[in-house]
Amino acid sequence: MRKPNKTPPRLVTKALDSAFGDSGETLDPGDMIEEAVQEVQRTQTMSEPPIGMIDEVTGKYILVFPSGRKQVCKSKVHAMDVARGYGVEKLSFTPIREIYDPSTPDKPYRGGDGLVINTYEKSPHQSAHKQSVRAKSWPTIQKLLENVIPDRRTREAFMNWFAVIFNTGKKTGTAWVFLGSQGSGKTLLITEILFPLLGSANCIQLNQDALTTRYNELLDKRQLVCFNEVHSSPQGAERIKTWITERDIRLEDKSGSAHVESNHLNLIFTSNSQVPVQIDADDRRFSVIRTDGPLAELPWFRGDVTVRAIARELRSFAAYLHTHPYAEGEARRPVKTLEKEHLIKASVDPYDQLVDMLRRRRVHELKKAIGEENLTDKERSELSNLNGCLTKDLLQKAAQAVIGGPVSKTKLTHELKNRGIGEIRGHGQGENRKRAYVWGEHANPDKSDKRSK
């Protein structure tokens, strides 16, 4: 129970000091007493006793004050000692479980025997009263968007993607890749517009190391994550796919402590690399764009002056997003762009690409890769009749065209064997001796077997 509330002398002294002020002027005694009483009451309110809670996941004892302030205590004894300082002799601890869910920013609610508390907090821009704004009330932001995402259709798709996140807090299941030179406005868009709109505490910038390390606690309680200047790596490829699409995420800190949380991440990647992320041919995760040139070359960009203009326009831009007719279904579908097609081709292993051409009899693409002018009539005919078999010399020529460099037959044989393509080393002399690579129903499971054709 709580002890009778007695106002400590120090509170009265503080209240009187506040009432008299520091100016030295003589105040009306009635006003002075009234102000002192109000100050004492205000200070007492600030000293209201806390309630006790215990985290179901970590086992930590937490004191929650009426102001909303939380104090994590070292132990139950420590929590009781702190509570006694606020006049509480006996303190019970309610089980709580903290979650982070931008899609349901509700007040605490009952869950089982305790409370479930959502720690997510909206940004001031998201909490602002919705109002209509003029379409041209954020000209600087519009110019920046046009430089970062030059294509109008793609830019509208990005605006829809972000509007879904801004208004619903939902995970879209898709990510954006911004390609372009430094100074084109990628980072400015992210740090000065996107992050403030969602709340800086809900966002973070990371680098390549975050894609390869097992310690990913920095992803905890994040809604938007930007990976700057990344390049493709085997370690990061699968993690990226998981972070974009999976409902849960495993978080581990450097102490080795790990736990699973709901995954609310939306991702953006920026890079100057030829292959920042690996993208499959049938990808349903990534939208890829290439920016225009450096902002410094544009007449409207004036450094810090432009940054301040963006800050002034954020309120209007947020109001525009509030009323934007977003479509969640569209946000979950990546945009088809020429840059994405290029990145897919760059992501695919060239030997895998070659084997795919052979198995699917993509004769036109093989001829195009080699070049019609580089084919003899005999080779052109052989390609036209492609059906599970190709002479070694011709396939070597095709491999060098697809890979873009010289390839020895030893290297080629090794790579093809790993992909299920065997070889025939026939008997005979000169042109009558056939050396070929075979696959499908023509394949010889025993590479060393020699057959005369």
Question: 3-class DSSP state for residue 423?
Answer: strand
Does residue 90 share a domain with residue 22? no
The pLDDT assigned to 179 comes to 95
Does residue 58 share a domain with residue 172? no
Helices 392-403 and 363-370: crossing angle, nearest 10°?
70
Closest CA to 441 of 416, 421, 419: 421
Q: Which residue has the higher pLDDT, 423 or 41?
A: 423
For residue 360, tell me if it sits in a domain: yes
For residue 25, tell me if it sits in a domain: yes
For residue 12, is pLDDT > 50? Answer: no
Full domain range(s) for residue 28: 1-47
Averaged pLDDT, 37-64: 74
For residue 26, is pLDDT > 70? Answer: no
Averaged pLDDT, 283-296: 95
The pLDDT assigned to 68 comes to 77
Q: Which two tokens stand for residue 97?
A: 């479980």
Averaged pLDDT, 81-98: 89
Mean per-residue pLDDT of the chain: 84
Work out whether strand 258-262 and strand 248-252 pair parallel, antiparallel, or are unpaired: antiparallel
Residue 137 has phi, psi (to 5 degrees) of -90, 5
Please report which confidence band the pLDDT of residue 435 belongs to, taking 50, 70 and 90 as the band edges.
Answer: confident
The pLDDT assigned to 428 comes to 44
Does residue 210 share a domain with residue 328? yes
Predicted TM-score (pTM) of this structure: 0.68
Does residue 418 share a domain with residue 360? yes
For residue 448, tell me if it sits in a domain: no
- The 3 state secondary structure assigned to 27-41 is CCHHHHHHHHHHHHH
For residue 278, tell me if it sits in a domain: yes
Q: Which of 76, 97, 120 is the last residue of a domain?
A: 120
The pLDDT assigned to 38 comes to 62
Please report which confidence band the pLDDT of residue 15 belongs to, taking 50, 70 and 90 as the band edges.
Answer: very low
Which residue is listed with tokens 């890079």?
Answer: 271
Does residue 378 share a domain with residue 301? no
For residue 11, is pLDDT > 90? Answer: no
Does residue 238 share a domain with residue 379? no
Does residue 422 share a domain with residue 384? yes
Which contacts (CB < 8 Å, 24+ apart) does range 83-92 have? 83/49, 83/50, 83/52, 86/47, 86/48, 86/49, 86/50, 87/2, 87/3, 87/5, 87/49, 88/1, 88/2, 88/49, 88/50, 89/1, 89/2, 89/3, 90/1, 91/51, 91/52, 92/52
Please report which confidence band the pLDDT of residue 231 belongs to, taking 50, 70 and 90 as the band edges.
Answer: confident
397 CB burial (10 A radius; 0-12, 13-18, 19+):
buried
Cβ 271 vs Cβ 285: under 8 Å: no
Please report which confidence band the pLDDT of residue 447 belongs to, taking 50, 70 and 90 as the band edges.
Answer: very low
Q: How many Cα atoms occupy the beta-carbon half-sphere of 65 within 13 Å?
A: 16
The pLDDT assigned to 141 comes to 97
The pLDDT assigned to 427 comes to 46
Averaged pLDDT, 274-298: 91
Q: Which residue has the higher pLDDT, 238 or 157?
A: 157
Q: Indicate which CATH number applies to the domain containing 360.
A: 1.10.10
Does residue 273 share a domain with residue 143? yes
> From CA 367, how far away is CA 357, in angstroms rounded?
11
> From CA 223, how far away is CA 220, in angstroms rounded?
9
The pLDDT assigned to 347 comes to 80
Please report which confidence band the pLDDT of residue 311 belongs to, taking 50, 70 and 90 as the band edges.
Answer: very high
Which one of 39-43, 342-346, 387-391 scores highest in mean pLDDT?
387-391
> From CA 4, how far away is CA 241, in angstroms rounded?
59
DSSP assignment string, 398-411: HHHHHHTS---HHH
Closest CA to 144 of 181, 183, 174: 183
Q: Which of 295, 319, 345 is the last residue of a domain?
A: 345
For residue 263, is pLDDT > 80? Answer: yes
Does residue 327 share a domain with residue 215? yes
Q: Which residue has the higher pLDDT, 238 or 446?
A: 238
For residue 61, tell me if it sits in a domain: yes
Does residue 321 share a domain with residue 217? yes
The pLDDT assigned to 112 comes to 57
> From CA 149, how far away is CA 156, in angstroms rounded?
9
Averaged pLDDT, 68-89: 90
Cα R_g (the chain), whole angstroms: 33
Q: Within 10 Å of residue 262's Cβ, how many Cβ atoms?
A: 12
H helical segments located in 190-245 = 195-198, 209-212, 234-245
Does residue 136 share a domain with residue 19? no
Please report which confidence band the pLDDT of residue 113 belongs to, taking 50, 70 and 90 as the band edges.
Answer: low
Closest CA to 215 of 241, 258, 253, 249: 253
For residue 159, is pLDDT > 70? Answer: yes
The pLDDT assigned to 108 comes to 58
Q: For residue range 162-202, list pLDDT tens digits in order.
A: 999 999 999 999 999 999 988 999 999 999 999 999 999 99
DSSP assignment string, 162-188: HHHHHHH----S-EEEEE--TTSSHHH
Q: For residue range 130-152, list pLDDT tens digits in order.
A: 776 665 789 999 999 999 999 99
The pLDDT assigned to 35 comes to 65
What is the total count of domains within the chain?
4
The pLDDT assigned to 415 comes to 92
Cβ 176 vs Cβ 269: under 8 Å: yes
> From CA 356, how far away is CA 125, in angstroms rounded?
50
For residue 451, tell me if it sits in a domain: no
Q: How many angstroms from the chain centroid is the CA of residue 297?
A: 29
**Strands annotated E in 246-393:** 248-252, 258-262, 266-271, 286-290, 389-391
For residue 453, tell me if it sits in a domain: no
- Give the percent of the chain with pLDDT over 90: 54
Please report which confidence band the pLDDT of residue 5 belongs to, taking 50, 70 and 90 as the band edges.
Answer: very low
